[in-house]
Amino acid sequence: MQLSETISTGFLFLAPWLVFFPVIGLLINLIFGGRMSEKAIGWVASAASGAAFVVSVLLAYSVSAAHGEVLRWTLAPWMHVGDLAIDWTFRADSLSTTMMLVVSGVGTLIHIYAIGYMHEDVRFKSDLGRYRRFFVFLNLFIAMMMILVSGDSYMMLFVGWEGVGLCSFLLIGFWYDMDTLGRPSWANSNAAKKAFITNRIGDFGFLLAGFLMFWKLGSFQFDSVFEAAAEVAHNEPWVIVAITLFMLIGVAGKSAQIPLYVWLPDAMAGPTPVSALIHAATMVTAGVYLVTRSSELYTLVPQAQYIVAMVGAATALFAATIAVGQYDIKKVLAYSTISQLGFMVAAVGMGAYVAGMFHLVTHAFFKALLFLSAGSVILGLERGHHHLAHHGGHGGGHHEEVFDPGDMRNMGGLRKTMPVTFWLYMIGTLALAGIFPFAGFWSKDEILLDASLHYPTVYILLSIAAFFTAFYMGRQIWMVFFGEARHDAAAHAEESKPIITAPLMVLAALSILGGALNLPFEGFHNLGHWLEYTLHEVEALPLNLQVAGISTALALTAIVVSWLIYGRKPLTKGQPDPLKKPLGLIFTGMENKWFVDEGYWAVFVNRYVDISRFLADYVDWRFWHDFVHDKVIAGTYNWLSTIALNDYADQKVINWFFDGWGRATQWLSATTRKVQNGFVRSYALSIMLGVVVILGYLLLKP
């Protein structure tokens, strides 16, 4: 805050409103939502998010006006205990404003999209309460994400980190009492729990990193930590290595990297806008943001950087192979997201923070576009299905089996019925596949270029992953939009309303033009220069035609191959995937996600359940309850109270004592009673005796 006196802070005072606007939005919906119309609820939430976007723009402008100076705005003190001093301080610098813009910008578009989408969702059933709750959760998510990206300390970041985890849980399990098809089931709840628990593992790592940080570096505030880290890295490098690797666990949890990525595909159980917003564009990139934010720590320890890069690259390839074998339109995108997050993590691991952030931004655009378009496709199919159900249809298909509008095997030929969605999807696909000149081409290329210069292994892995990316996206396009409809619903699919397609068009435009943020030409490294304010070492690389050429060639080859397999001879109804026969076991592996979930079940979950059972049945029930409590404690107590205390202490000792006391008193009184014989002379004798004795005492007294 000392800085604020010397330099203009511009609109910095608005920083807390990043959080307040969404909170106000959710409070309005929470308190007055019951009396508001469906549209009003959606627009209030969207306006809240939009207001946060406006604040983000103003903050970005302020940072720009301050020439990249870090701006801080302390709202209130939080914890001041001993050496620990944490405040609610908002931090506006080029990195955090970038994240704010992405989160609130994409978030607002998705809010608007959700107004239409949630209305159309077959599970909606005019349940306005649930509709309202959805937007409350979305606003809460925006607020939490803003805390995450605008915090000036790891602790505040952690609050946001946990907050978005909570929102993720709430929204994955939004249809908690049914599965993705609306059947009564706990599938969605289980997916939510899986996401939450997996994230807890990662958060534990983050917490350990935080504790270690405070123990060894003495602070949570970013700049203090970095300052202290430089010295500690010189004396005790293991501390920084440990902090960064523990942080990597957190990153793996939140950004769905190996080995904690398993929750993200299941998270598709949430409504599609949620998948787009939380599980593609914003929350899952928090890990990338964290690594970028901690760049000064990672730069100190190349070993940790290498591990991060390898984890990212391995995840990128691994997830890409699984995506090839998926049939659910959203599952393919989910694995694609994991793969792309792998790209980003690999980039930030290599120290190519600008490339990572660049890919984060463009990915937010085109992956949100893809998810939302997929949502549009699903809605289209649902409309087709609905149409069939009402107009008799052909053979009453909906009676025979439950129709899955997300299964690509039910689609085909949507190019004709949903042309707008088709073109939007194409743009997203091309951007994701990395075709010139779409946004994905530039950002992915920058990552590959960095990798080719520093980490050949990572370069090879990522290149293969890029090939697979183009391939599975091509496969999806051919399966969904080309060929003939493999289901009556697909044949009767209808285009979505403008409220759904309008936000998509904005995203599509961004996906096309997003590359302009950071073109690899002299004078066009805009994002690089912007982030340079925060990240001190930025390597502005020129376009390397060789790398760009190879990646483009790979992508084009992959698309052609996918056309050969899926496009040239479109799938017919009920036909198995054409790759199944030639690839055999490999495809089975891809189809079944390489049995990672099953492996986790076998290795961790079942063992955990076994341990729990053991603890419950043996340790708790048999040992603790039956033995320790019933036998040892209760038994001892019983023995003590019955035998020792009652029989002996009470009956024998205390009772005996008081009985004896009573008998002694009786005996004494019976004896002394006889003294009172009523004879005057004997009383006189006692008096005489007393006189003699007292006189004797007086005599003998010294």
Partner 1 sequence: MVPVNYYIILSAILFTIGALGVLVRRNPLIMFMSIELMLNSANLAMVAFSSAIKSLSGQIFVFFVIAVAAAEVAVGLALIVQIFKSRHTINVDEMNSLKG
Partner 2 sequence: MTIDLILFLILAVVAIATALGMLLSRNAVYSALFLVLNFATVAVFYVLLGAPFIAMAQITVYAGAIMVLFLFVIMLLGAEKTPGNPKWSDYILPAGLALVLVLESIYLLISRGVPSGEIVQPEASVNSVDFLRQMGMALFNEYLLPFEVTSILLLVAMVGAIVLTKQEKGGRG
Q: Is 671 in the site for partner 1 (CB under 8 A)?
A: no
Task: Cite the DSSP H helix spans in 121-153.
Answer: 128-150
Q: Coil, helix or strand for 407?
A: strand
Stretch binding partner 1 (CB under 8 A), from 136-144, 333-341, 494-502, 668-676 = 668-676
Stretch binding partner 2 (CB under 8 A), from 77-85, 585-593, 607-615, 691-699 = 691-699
Query: Letter for the amino acid at 216?
Result: K
Closest to partner 1 by CB, 67 or 681: 681
Q: Is 676 in the site for partner 1 (CB under 8 A)?
A: yes
Distance (Å, whole) CA 525 – CA 541: 9
Closest to partner 1 by CB, 680 or 699: 680
The entry of partner 2, partner 1, none near residue 671 (CB within 5 to 8 angstroms by kind) is none
**Interface of this chain with partner 2, residues 24 to 83, rule: CB under 8 A:** none
Closest to partner 1 by CB, 654 or 691: 691
CA atoms within 13 A on the CB side of 99: 30
The entry of partner 1, partner 2, none near residue 545 (CB within 5 to 8 angstroms by kind) is none
The entry of partner 2, partner 1, none near residue 680 (CB within 5 to 8 angstroms by kind) is partner 1
Closest to partner 1 by CB, 678 or 702: 678
* Nearest residue to 95 (alpha-carbon basis) of 431, 360, 450: 360
Closest to partner 2 by CB, 664 or 687: 687
The entry of partner 1, partner 2, none near residue 126 (CB within 5 to 8 angstroms by kind) is none
Q: Is 666 in the site for partner 1 (CB under 8 A)?
A: no
Angle at 366 between CA 363 and CA 369, to 5 degrees: 135
* Nearest residue to 148 (alpha-carbon basis) of 162, 130, 138, 160: 160
Q: Is 699 in the site for partner 1 (CB under 8 A)?
A: no
Distance (Å, whole) CA 253 – CA 261: 7
Q: Is 691 in the site for partner 2 (CB under 8 A)?
A: yes
Could you tell me the smallest distance in angstroms from the CB atom of residue 664 to partner 1?
18
Q: Is 678 in the site for partner 1 (CB under 8 A)?
A: yes
Q: Is 685 in the site for partner 2 (CB under 8 A)?
A: yes
Query: 396 — alpha (psi -120 to 50), left (phi > 0) or beta?
Result: left
Contact 334, 261 (CB under 8 A): no
Could you tell me the smallest distance in angstroms from the CB atom of residue 662 to partner 1?
19
Closest to partner 1 by CB, 390 or 674: 674
CA distances from 39 to 110, 119, 190, 313, 505 (A): 15, 9, 31, 44, 21
Closest to partner 1 by CB, 230 or 668: 668
Give all strands (DSSP E) within 193-271, no chain letters: none
Stretch binding partner 2 (CB under 8 A), from 1-9, 367-375, 521-529, 689-697 = 689-697
Could you tell me the smallest distance in angstroms from the CB atom of residue 686 to partner 2?
11
Q: Which residue among 684, 690, 694, 696 contacts partner 1 (CB under 8 A)?
A: 684
* DSSP summary character for residue 624: I
Binding footprint of partner 2, residue count (CB under 8 A): 9
Contact 124, 131 (CB under 8 A): yes
Distance (Å, whole) CA 120 – CA 527: 38
The entry of partner 2, partner 1, none near residue 674 (CB within 5 to 8 angstroms by kind) is partner 1
Q: Which sign does the torsion angle of CA 544, 547, 553, 559 carry?
A: negative
Closest to partner 1 by CB, 6 or 676: 676
Q: Is 689 in the site for partner 2 (CB under 8 A)?
A: yes
* Nearest residue to 107 (alpha-carbon basis) of 316, 421, 368, 400: 368
Q: Which residue among 509, 564, 653, 692 contacts partner 2 (CB under 8 A)?
A: 692
The entry of partner 2, partner 1, none near residue 699 (CB within 5 to 8 angstroms by kind) is partner 2
Q: Which residue among 681, 697, 699, 701 contacts partner 1 (CB under 8 A)?
A: 681
Could you tell me the smallest distance in angstroms from the CB atom of residue 675 to partner 2?
16
Closest to partner 2 by CB, 76 or 680: 680
Q: Which sign does the torsion angle of CA 241, 540, 513, 415 carry?
A: negative
Closest to partner 2 by CB, 76 or 699: 699
Could you tell me the smallest distance in angstroms from the CB atom of residue 695 to partner 2?
4
Distance (Å, whole) CA 644 – CA 651: 10
* Nearest residue to 151 (alpha-carbon basis) of 217, 223, 57: 223
Q: Is 680 in the site for partner 2 (CB under 8 A)?
A: no
Encoded tokens for 293:
């934010």
Q: Coil, helix or strand for 395?
A: coil
Distance (Å, whole) CA 36 – CA 40: 6
Closest to partner 1 by CB, 238 or 683: 683
* Nearest residue to 245 (alpha-carbon basis) of 338, 153, 290, 307: 307
Residues 6+ apart with CB under 8 A from 393: 387, 488
Distance (Å, whole) CA 76 – CA 696: 92
Beta bridge partners of 407: 328
The entry of partner 2, partner 1, none near residue 673 (CB within 5 to 8 angstroms by kind) is partner 1
CA distances from 645 to 108, 472, 638, 651, 662 (A): 74, 79, 9, 8, 21
Q: Is 699 in the site for partner 2 (CB under 8 A)?
A: yes
Q: Is 688 in the site for partner 1 (CB under 8 A)?
A: yes
Distance (Å, whole) CA 489 – CA 410: 8
Q: Which residue among 82, 674, 697, 701 contacts partner 1 (CB under 8 A)?
A: 674
Q: Which residue among 679, 697, 700, 701 contacts partner 1 (CB under 8 A)?
A: 679
Locus of tokens 């009003």: 40
Binding footprint of partner 1, residue count (CB under 8 A): 12
Could you tell me the smallest distance in angstroms from the CB atom of residue 651 to partner 1?
34
Closest to partner 2 by CB, 615 or 689: 689
Q: Is 677 in the site for partner 1 (CB under 8 A)?
A: yes
Locus of tokens 């914003």: 282
The entry of partner 2, partner 1, none near residue 678 (CB within 5 to 8 angstroms by kind) is partner 1
Residues contributing to the site for partner 1 (CB under 8 A): 673-681, 684-685, 688
Residues contributing to the site for partner 2 (CB under 8 A): 685, 688-689, 691-692, 695-696, 698-699
